[in-house]
């Protein structure tokens, strides 16, 4: 053999060995490929509160409330400071909020949606997550007219709506009279029914699932729904004791009675409003806020336990954590106690997002809907958003790719209330009495100065009302408002 032939043979052998090495690096067993694909999908932990107003977290500006675990989540999160619920077709605002959340439809489209049809088509939030390999888990408050066992892989303790309130829990407290209802009296049941506080049960359930998830290669989607801080606002005595009444301030927008309460369906006949006596007193508002803060702090402890359990799985770095609530609550603002109104305290909720590549401790003041969490999670999971999902993906804003989202924000309650927010101007409409309220939210965030009676604002009201009529079409709102519009802004 010549030198040249020998050299060519050695080069050929080297080439074949190199090619074989590259092929070995590129090939992997099918099971390993699946595991790597699963590992690449981020986990999603959705923490959901009930009746938690945007202004009831210490880290976002409330110096009176103690929420150390929500504070640490907030510090590691991008925070949407203006997250809204659209409203409700029923007195139970949470029902509408949760149906929107789980189906992706705007409020009146959600009302008309047949859930059996949506479920059969695999269109619910959890079913969509399951379709791309997520192991799904639910525990806590459901309040949607379908069985969670039929759309989640695993289900913990399910609570229907609110914990039962006893007759003594209404029209209280009255200063100078003995209050026979106590937030830590377990005989009143409510959150104590079954022996353990429901928030603690939710915490236990979530921790149990995370312990199993630690051993699994599948990505998980957890829907963890607290009943807290919905009334009856019950918590152990040690939490109530954290809030002496002398340390509870009265909201600056306090009123003994809301002037339009009966016309908007928020009078003494409404269950939520009769929790406190009419007219409102500063004492009654302080006690209600004391108990509200206490149950939030108790829930915060359970959230801390869940976050610690997530860390213990070793999967925290590949997990998106969302925290929000179904709607806010008045608890003494504007002479109101419940959430059946169009004011900011009742429409807005906290909204935190923590996860891979999400900027920490970053506030975004663009207005969103809380139900945008569904579309966002679909994007995280690599699911193309179905046409029927009307809410929007937040990732472009989170990553600084855009600051635009919705042109305006819509609000509703039964046929009695409507609202629209565009830029910083907010119009509230009470059709039954043909009344409008106008607020500049930038200058008047507590909505204490109604500008609606000023002749200088006629064009603003006209413009906002026209925007509201446009939003009616988008949301499926069939309430006749044209005559109200003509009477209020055309005459």
pLDDT digits (tens, 9 = 90+) for 63-95: 999 999 999 999 999 999 999 999 999 999 999
Q: Is the pLDDT reported for residue 295 higher than 50?
A: yes
Q: Is the pLDDT reported for residue 308 higher than 70?
A: yes
Q: What is the DSSP letter of 401?
A: S
* Average pLDDT of the segment spanning 458-474: 96
Beta strand pairing call for 83-84 and 368-369: parallel
Q: Which residue segment(s) compose the domain that 56 sits in?
A: 41-398
* pLDDT tens digits, one per residue of 125-175: 999 999 999 999 999 999 999 999 999 999 999 997 889 999 999 999 999
Task: Please state, in angstroms and rounded to a whole number, the distance separating the CA atoms of residues 242 and 196.
Answer: 21
**Residue 160, pLDDT score:** 79
Let me know if residue 14 belongs to a domain.
no
Let me know if residue 27 belongs to a domain.
no
**Residue 491, pLDDT score:** 60
Task: Please state, in angstroms and rounded to a whole number, the distance separating the CA atoms of residues 150 and 153.
Answer: 8
Last residue of a domain, one of 398, 423, 457: 398
DSSP SS3 for 324 = strand
The answer on 441 and 327 residing in a single domain is: no
Let me know if residue 163 belongs to a domain.
yes
Cα Rg, the chain, nearest whole Å: 26
Asked if 189 and 179 count as a contact pair (C-beta separation under 8 A), the reply is: no
pLDDT band at 489; cut points 50, 70, 90: low
Q: Which residues contact 404 (CB under 8 A, 6 or more apart)?
A: 366
Please state whether the peptide bond connecting residue 375 to the residue before it is cis, i.e. omega within 30 degrees of 0: no
CATH of the domain at 484: 3.30.1120.10
Asked if 193 and 165 count as a contact pair (C-beta separation under 8 A), the reply is: no
Two tokens at 449? Answer: 């100065």
pLDDT band at 484; cut points 50, 70, 90: confident
Q: Is the pLDDT reported for residue 37 higher than 90?
A: no
Beta strand pairing call for 417-422 and 83-84: unpaired
The answer on 233 and 337 residing in a single domain is: yes
Q: Is the pLDDT reported for residue 11 higher than 60?
A: no
Task: Please state, in angstroms and rounded to a whole number, the distance separating the CA atoms of residues 45 and 408.
Answer: 29
Asked if 166 and 190 count as a contact pair (C-beta separation under 8 A), the reply is: yes
Q: Is the pLDDT reported for residue 371 higher than 70?
A: yes
Give the ranges where 314-365 is alpha helix by DSSP (H): 344-347
The answer on 119 and 185 residing in a single domain is: yes
Let me know if residue 68 belongs to a domain.
yes
The answer on 309 and 217 residing in a single domain is: yes
% of the chain residues with pLDDT over 90: 89
**Residue 12, pLDDT score:** 37
The answer on 351 and 457 residing in a single domain is: no
The answer on 472 and 371 residing in a single domain is: no
Sign of the Cα torsion 203, 209, 214, 217 reads negative
Q: Give which of 348, 304, 302, 350 is closest to 323, Cα–Cα.
A: 350
The answer on 458 and 380 residing in a single domain is: no
Let me know if residue 239 belongs to a domain.
yes
DSSP SS3 for 106 = coil
**Residue 487, pLDDT score:** 77
The answer on 193 and 121 residing in a single domain is: yes
For 142, how many CA atoms within 13 A lie in the half-sphere containing its CB? 19
Q: How many residues does the chain have?
A: 491
* pLDDT tens digits, one per residue of 322-334: 999 999 999 999 9
DSSP SS3 for 372 = helix
pTM, rounded to two decimals:
0.91
Q: Is the pLDDT reported for residue 22 higher than 90?
A: no
* Average pLDDT of the segment spanning 425-442: 97
Beta strand pairing call for 135-141 and 154-159: parallel
Asked if 310 and 319 count as a contact pair (C-beta separation under 8 A), the reply is: yes
Task: Please state, in angstroms and rounded to a whole number, the distance separating the CA atoms of residues 50 and 329.
Answer: 9
pLDDT band at 210; cut points 50, 70, 90: very high
Q: What is the DSSP string of 126-153?
A: HHHHHTTT-EEEEEEE--SSS-GGGT-S
pLDDT band at 99; cut points 50, 70, 90: very high
Q: Is the pLDDT reported for residue 359 higher than 80?
A: yes
Q: Where are the beta strands (DSSP E) in 142-288?
A: 154-159, 220-225
For 318, how many CA atoms within 13 A lie in the half-sphere containing its CB? 16
* Average pLDDT of the segment spanning 400-405: 96
Q: Which residues contact 210 (CB under 8 A, 6 or more apart)?
A: 222, 306, 309, 310, 312, 313
Q: Which residues contact 212 (CB under 8 A, 6 or more apart)?
A: none
Let me know if residue 449 belongs to a domain.
yes
Let me know if residue 25 belongs to a domain.
no
**Residue 9, pLDDT score:** 36
The answer on 431 and 370 residing in a single domain is: no
**Residue 490, pLDDT score:** 64
* Average pLDDT of the segment spanning 286-307: 98
Q: Give which of 354, 388, 394, 387 is closest to 371, Cα–Cα.
A: 394
Q: Give which of 405, 410, 388 is closest to 464, Cα–Cα.
A: 410
* Average pLDDT of the segment spanning 21-42: 42
**Residue 14, pLDDT score:** 37
The answer on 372 and 479 residing in a single domain is: no
Two tokens at 199? Answer: 């928030």
Last residue of a domain, one of 398, 424, 449: 398
Task: Please state, in angstroms and rounded to a whole number, the distance separating the CA atoms of residues 151 and 138.
Answer: 10
Summary mean pLDDT of the chain: 92
- Judged by average pLDDT, the poorest of 13-17, 157-161, 318-322, 348-352 is 13-17
Q: Is the pLDDT reported for residue 194 higher than 90?
A: yes
Asked if 328 and 251 count as a contact pair (C-beta separation under 8 A), the reply is: no
CATH of the domain at 154: 3.40.720.10
Q: Which residues contact 24 (CB under 8 A, 6 or more apart)?
A: none
For 278, how many CA atoms within 13 A lie in the half-sphere containing its CB? 15
Let me know if residue 365 belongs to a domain.
yes
Q: Is the pLDDT reported for residue 119 higher than 90?
A: yes
* pLDDT tens digits, one per residue of 222-272: 999 999 999 999 999 999 999 999 999 999 999 999 999 999 999 999 999
Number of domains in the chain: 2
Q: Is the pLDDT reported for residue 13 higher than 60?
A: no
Q: Is the pLDDT reported for residue 31 higher than 50?
A: no
pLDDT band at 35; cut points 50, 70, 90: very low
pLDDT band at 207; cut points 50, 70, 90: very high
- Judged by average pLDDT, the poorest of 100-109, 142-151, 157-166, 282-291 is 157-166
The answer on 414 and 393 residing in a single domain is: no
The answer on 256 and 182 residing in a single domain is: yes
Last residue of a domain, one of 398, 431, 459: 398
Q: Is the pLDDT reported for residue 6 higher than 50?
A: no
Q: What is the DSSP string of 146-172?
A: S-GGGT-SEEEEEE-SPPPPPGGGSS-
pLDDT band at 45; cut points 50, 70, 90: very high
Q: In what order do the strands lie in the sheet with 348-349?
A: 348-349, 83-84, 368-369
């Amino acid at each position: 053999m010549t030198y040249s032939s020998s050299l060519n043979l050695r080069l050929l052998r080297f080439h074949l060995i190199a090619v074989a090495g590259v092929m070995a690096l590129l090939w992997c067993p099918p099971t390993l490929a699946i595991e790597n694909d699963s590992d690449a999908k981020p986990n999603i932990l959705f923490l959901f509160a009930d009746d938690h107003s945007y202004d009831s977290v210490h880290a976002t500006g409330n110096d009176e409330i103690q929420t150390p675990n929500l504070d640490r989540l907030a510090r590691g999160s991008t925070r949407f400071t203006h997250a809204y619920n659209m409203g409700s077709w029923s007195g139970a605002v949470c029902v509408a909020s949760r149906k929107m959340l789980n189906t992706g439809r705007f409020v009146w489209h959600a009302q008309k949606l047949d859930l059996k049809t949506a479920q059969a088509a695999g269109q619910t939030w959890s079913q969509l997550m399951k379709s791309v390999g997520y192991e799904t888990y639910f525990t806590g408050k459901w309040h949607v007219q379908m069985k969670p066992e039929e759309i989640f892989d695993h289900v913990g303790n399910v609570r229907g709506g609110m914990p039962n309130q006893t007759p003594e829990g209404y029209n209280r407290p009255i200063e100078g009279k003995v209050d026979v209802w106590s937030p830590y009296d377990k005989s009143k049941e409510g959150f104590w029914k079954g022996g353990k506080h429901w928030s603690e049960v939710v915490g236990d359930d979530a921790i149990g699932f995370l312990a199993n998830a630690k051993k699994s290669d599948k990505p998980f989607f957890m829907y963890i729904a607290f009943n807290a801080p919905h009334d009856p606002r019950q918590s152990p005595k040690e939490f109530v004791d954290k809030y002496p009444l002398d340390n509870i301030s009265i909201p600056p927008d306090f009123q003994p009675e809301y002037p339009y309460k009966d016309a908007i369906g928020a009078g003494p006949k409404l269950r939520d409003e009769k929790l406190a006596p009419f007219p409102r007193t500063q004492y009654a508002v302080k006690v209600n806020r004391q108990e509200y803060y206490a149950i939030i702090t108790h829930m915060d402890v359970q959230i801390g336990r869940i976050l610690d359990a997530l860390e213990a799985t070793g999967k925290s770095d590949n997990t998106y954590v969302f925290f929000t609530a179904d709607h806010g609550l008045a608890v003494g603002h504007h002479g109101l106690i419940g959430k059946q109104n169009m004011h900011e305290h009742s429409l807005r909720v906290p909204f935190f997002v923590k996860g891979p590549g999400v900027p920490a401790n970053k506030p975004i003041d663009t207005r969103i809907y809380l139900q945008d969490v569904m579309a966002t999670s679909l994007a995280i999971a690599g699911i193309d958003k179905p046409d029927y999902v009307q809410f929007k993906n937040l990732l472009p804003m989170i990553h600084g790719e855009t600051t635009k989202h919705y042109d305006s924000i819509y609000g509703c309650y039964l046929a009695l209330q409507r609202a629209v927010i565009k830029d910083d101007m907010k119009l509230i409409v009470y059709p039954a009495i043909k009344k409008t309220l106008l607020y500049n939210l930038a200058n008047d965030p507590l909505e204490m100065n109604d500008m609606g009676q000023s002749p200088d604002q006629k064009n603003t009201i006209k413009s906002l009302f026209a925007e509201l009529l446009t939003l009616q079409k988008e949301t499926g709102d069939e309430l006749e408002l044209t005559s109200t519009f003509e009477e209020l802004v055309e005459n």
